[in-house]
């Protein structure tokens, strides 16, 4: 909010300032002025209510007292990492969580050989690379140097890297080689390079959040997912781009590109994670989603992405945008690679109180034909961009022997302002200090203006929207009670918003190409903590198709 904006004056206080007082946002310049009857009557238009003159007059003392409380709060240092005391729980009433931990079981992998052309190595799956390392056909140092070289070579075309973590990576690779040589094999991620969205803290490196005000920001600790991957022997080679403060694909270094069409952005906000995986610059990457930030770039770049259940993976050390909607997950080449990553980063760490300690029981031997699968019939019948490829995908599932049950998700009022309110709180200081002017994107539908507009969301409406959210969660539980997976269009309809509000997991997979040569995708929605079934069905689809094995041409 800018003190210099030309709003009409009422007495000594601008109308803009008066409205802000009532809605919880105010201009520090006017803190000494009292809220008057005129202020309240003007502000009624913002909140969509009308009070009698007597009612408005009666609330003046309390309004002035509330504004004093706001001033006290704003004198307190509240870091982005500090979560609210109210913790979102996506579990509906009566939900029973199976606590049984079963063995993690992957499908058998065919014998893997080092390719004649090293460029082909760039598009090997995590499983294939792991087999090369396990059988000592390549070393972790060689593999790390290979992917570092690709990152350096192609970043000038893709703008997908914020920081290379070369020194850290080579030290980790040397350690991995020594351990593997001694027979201390940690598992499938031991010696595997990867990238992480640059909203995850990594000690010794900048964590920029893709935004100008935070370009030199550093944290003296590692995010939980980084620590978990370290313990598994994975090797961080790069911190990858995100749209500034997790919106879009534009960051302070430019626009991250789609490897399939360098004239296009890669979508966001996990822009660099999807772009780098699609281009063969890393075998997998960690992204995050609040409202489409894994599904969207995975779609555009033709990768496989997994948005886990809310509360499945710790967000400790990740930039907070929405404490009740943020989720961290993998972007990979294959559905089963997602299983490998999730098996490593799953579980409570004692640092993120929203994490629900639930087992992840993926078993490649499970017969996908035993899954009860629904599809959003009305959405698929509509006319939309991916319809032709989605129709072919539905037929593919039927050809695999799966009976598709028509289902419709619940209708619900638009409560997307919940995200705006939480994001504005997360970046409250950025708005009040006017440092939001430093952000590259300043149009109407961009964070600076969204943060400002969110100051006018009344607390009562925010809480009531959360109560409606509880209703939606219960309705979704009813819709899903007899189904394991629901197939949905990735972009069409309101499924993306709905399932992010309810915390349901989603696996997004490439399923063809547009006429312009860019990828399309289809999404699988699972029950809460039902990621294993999503991956089982996704693997069946990918075992019988080749969309996930296609490679963009960068040279």
How confident is residue 15, by pLDDT bands cut at 50, 70 and 90? Answer: very low
pLDDT of residue 325: 98
Asked if residue 451 lies in contact with residue 431, where contact means CB atoms within 8 angstroms, the answer is yes
pLDDT exceeds 80 at position 255: yes
Each residue's pLDDT tens digit, 454-475: 999 999 999 999 999 999 999 9
How confident is residue 244, by pLDDT bands cut at 50, 70 and 90? Answer: very high
pLDDT exceeds 70 at position 10: no
Q: What are phi and psi of 42, to 5 degrees?
A: -70, -40
pLDDT exceeds 70 at position 14: no
How confident is residue 391, by pLDDT bands cut at 50, 70 and 90? Answer: very high
Closest CA to 483 of 327, 378, 376: 376
pLDDT of residue 226: 99
How confident is residue 6, by pLDDT bands cut at 50, 70 and 90? Answer: very low
> Rounded to a whole number, what is the largest CA-CA distance in the chain?
84
Closest CA to 512 of 377, 390, 333, 331: 390
How confident is residue 21, by pLDDT bands cut at 50, 70 and 90? Answer: very low
pLDDT of residue 350: 96
pLDDT of residue 33: 81
Each residue's pLDDT tens digit, 293-302: 999 999 999 9
pLDDT exceeds 60 at position 355: yes
The rounded radius of gyration (Å) of the Cα atoms in the chain is: 25
Each residue's pLDDT tens digit, 262-285: 999 999 999 999 999 999 999 999
Helices (DSSP H) in 27-86: which residue ranges? 37-47, 53-58, 60-73
Contacts of 347 (CB under 8 A, 6+ apart): 314, 355, 357, 358
Closest CA to 376 of 360, 362, 393: 393
Asked if residue 320 lies in contact with residue 276, where contact means CB atoms within 8 angstroms, the answer is no
Give the mean model confidence (pLDDT) for residues 353-374. Answer: 98
Asked if residue 494 lies in contact with residue 385, where contact means CB atoms within 8 angstroms, the answer is no
Give the mean model confidence (pLDDT) for residues 232-242. Answer: 99
pLDDT of residue 171: 98
pLDDT exceeds 70 at position 19: no
| Beta bridge pairs of residue 250 | 255
Q: Which DSSP string do the residues of 353-374 spell out, in sequence order?
A: TT--------BTTS-GGGS-EE
At the fourth CATH level, the homologous superfamily of domain 118-412+463-549 is: Amidase signature (AS) domain (3.90.1300.10)
For residue 540, give the 3-state DSSP assignment: helix
Do strands 373-376 and 404-407 pair parallel, antiparallel, or not at all (unpaired)? parallel
Please state, as a whole number, how many other Cβ atoms lie within 10 Å of the Cβ of residue 528. Answer: 24
Asked if residue 277 lies in contact with residue 334, where contact means CB atoms within 8 angstroms, the answer is no
To the nearest 10°, the Cα dihedral for 333, 292, 477, 541? -20
For residue 555, give the 3-state DSSP assignment: coil
**Model confidence, pTM:** 0.93
* Structure token pair of residue 87: 């913790």
pLDDT exceeds 80 at position 17: no
Contacts of 273 (CB under 8 A, 6+ apart): 195, 196, 197, 240, 242, 285, 286, 287, 297, 331
pLDDT of residue 110: 86
pLDDT of residue 108: 87
pLDDT exceeds 90 at position 22: no
Strands (E), 179-272: 193-197, 235-240, 250-251, 254-255, 257-258, 261-265
Each residue's pLDDT tens digit, 57-109: 999 999 999 999 999 999 999 999 999 999 999 999 999 999 999 999 999 88
Each residue's pLDDT tens digit, 111-146: 999 999 999 999 999 999 999 999 999 999 999 999
How confident is residue 9, by pLDDT bands cut at 50, 70 and 90? Answer: very low
pLDDT of residue 5: 32
Q: How confident is the prediction for the chain on average, in pLDDT?
A: 94
Each residue's pLDDT tens digit, 159-174: 999 999 999 999 999 9
Please tell me the distance from the alpha carbon of residue 61 to that of residue 130, in angstroms, as a whole number.
Answer: 67
pLDDT of residue 8: 31
Domain ranges of the chain: 1-76, 118-412+463-549
pLDDT of residue 31: 45
Asked if residue 165 lies in contact with residue 237, where contact means CB atoms within 8 angstroms, the answer is yes
Question: Taking CA 150 as the corner, what is the angle to CA 335 and CA 247, rounded to the nearest 5 degrees?
Answer: 60
């Amino acid at each position: 909010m800018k003190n210099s904006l030309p709003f009409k004056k009422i007495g000594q206080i601008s109308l803009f300032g008066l409205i802000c007082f009532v809605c919880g946002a105010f201009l520090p310049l006017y803190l000494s002025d009292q809220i008057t009857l005129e202020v309240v009557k003007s502000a009624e238009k913002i909140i969509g209510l009308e009070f009698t003159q007597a009612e408005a007059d009666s609330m003046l003392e309390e309004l002035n007292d509330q504004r004093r409380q706001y001033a006290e709060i704003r004198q307190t240092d509240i870091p982005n990492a500090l979560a609210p005391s109210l913790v979102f729980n996506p579990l509906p009433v009566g939900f029973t969580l199976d606590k049984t931990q079963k063995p993690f079981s992957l499908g058998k992998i065919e014998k893997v050989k080092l390719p004649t052309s090293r460029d082909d190595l760039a598009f090997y799956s995590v499983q294939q690379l792991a087999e090369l390392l396990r059988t000592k056909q390549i070393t972790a140092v060689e593999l790390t140097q290979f992917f570092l070289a690709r990152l350096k070579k192609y970043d000038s075309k893709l703008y997908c890297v914020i920081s290379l973590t070369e020194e850290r990576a080579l030290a980790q690779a040397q350690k991995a080689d020594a351990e593997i040589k001694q027979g201390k094999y940690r598992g499938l991620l031991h010696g595997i390079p990867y990238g992480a969205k640059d909203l995850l803290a990594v000690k010794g490196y900048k964590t920029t959040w893709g935004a100008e005000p935070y370009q030199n920001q550093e944290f003296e600790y590692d995010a939980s997912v980084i620590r978990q991957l370290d313990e598994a022997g994975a090797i961080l080679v790069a911190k990858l781009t995100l749209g500034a403060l997790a919106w879009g694909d534009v960051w302070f270094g430019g626009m991250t590109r789609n490897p399939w069409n360098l004239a296009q952005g890669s979508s966001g906000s996990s822009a660099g994670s999807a772009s780098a995986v699609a281009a063969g610059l890393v075998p997998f990457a960690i992204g995050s989603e609040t409202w489409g930030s894994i599904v969207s770039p995975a779609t555009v770049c033709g990768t496989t992405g997994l948005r886990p259940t809310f509360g499945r993976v710790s967000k400790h050390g990740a930039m907070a945008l929405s404490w009740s909607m943020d989720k961290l997950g993998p972007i990979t080449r294959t559905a089963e690679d997602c299983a490998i990553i999730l098996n490593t980063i799953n579980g409570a760490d004692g640092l993120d109180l929203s994490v629900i300690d639930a087992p992840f029981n993926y078993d490649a031997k499970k017969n996908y034909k035993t899954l009860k699968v629904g599809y959003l019939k009305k959405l698929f019948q509509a006319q939309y961009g991916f319809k032709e490829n989605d129709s072919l995908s539905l037929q593919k599932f039927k050809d695999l022997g799966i009976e598709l049950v028509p289902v419709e998700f619940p209708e619900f009022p638009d409560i997307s302002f919940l995200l705006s309110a939480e994001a504005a709180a997360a970046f409250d200081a950025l708005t009040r200090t006017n440092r939001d002017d430093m952000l590259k994107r300043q149009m109407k539908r961009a964070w600076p203006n969204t943060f400002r507009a969110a100051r006018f969301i009344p607390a009562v409406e925010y809480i009531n929207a959360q109560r409606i959210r509880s209703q939606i969660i219960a309705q979704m539980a009813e819709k899903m009670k007899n189904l394991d997976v629901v197939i949905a269009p990735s972009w069409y309809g309101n499924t993306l918003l709905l399932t992010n509000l309810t915390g349901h997991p989603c696996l997004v997979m490439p399923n063809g190409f547009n006429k312009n040569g860019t990828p399309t995708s289809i999404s699988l929605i699972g029950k809460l903590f039902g990621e294993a079934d999503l991956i089982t069905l996704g693997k069946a689809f990918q075992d019988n198709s080749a969309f996930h094995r296609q490679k963009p041409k960068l040279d």
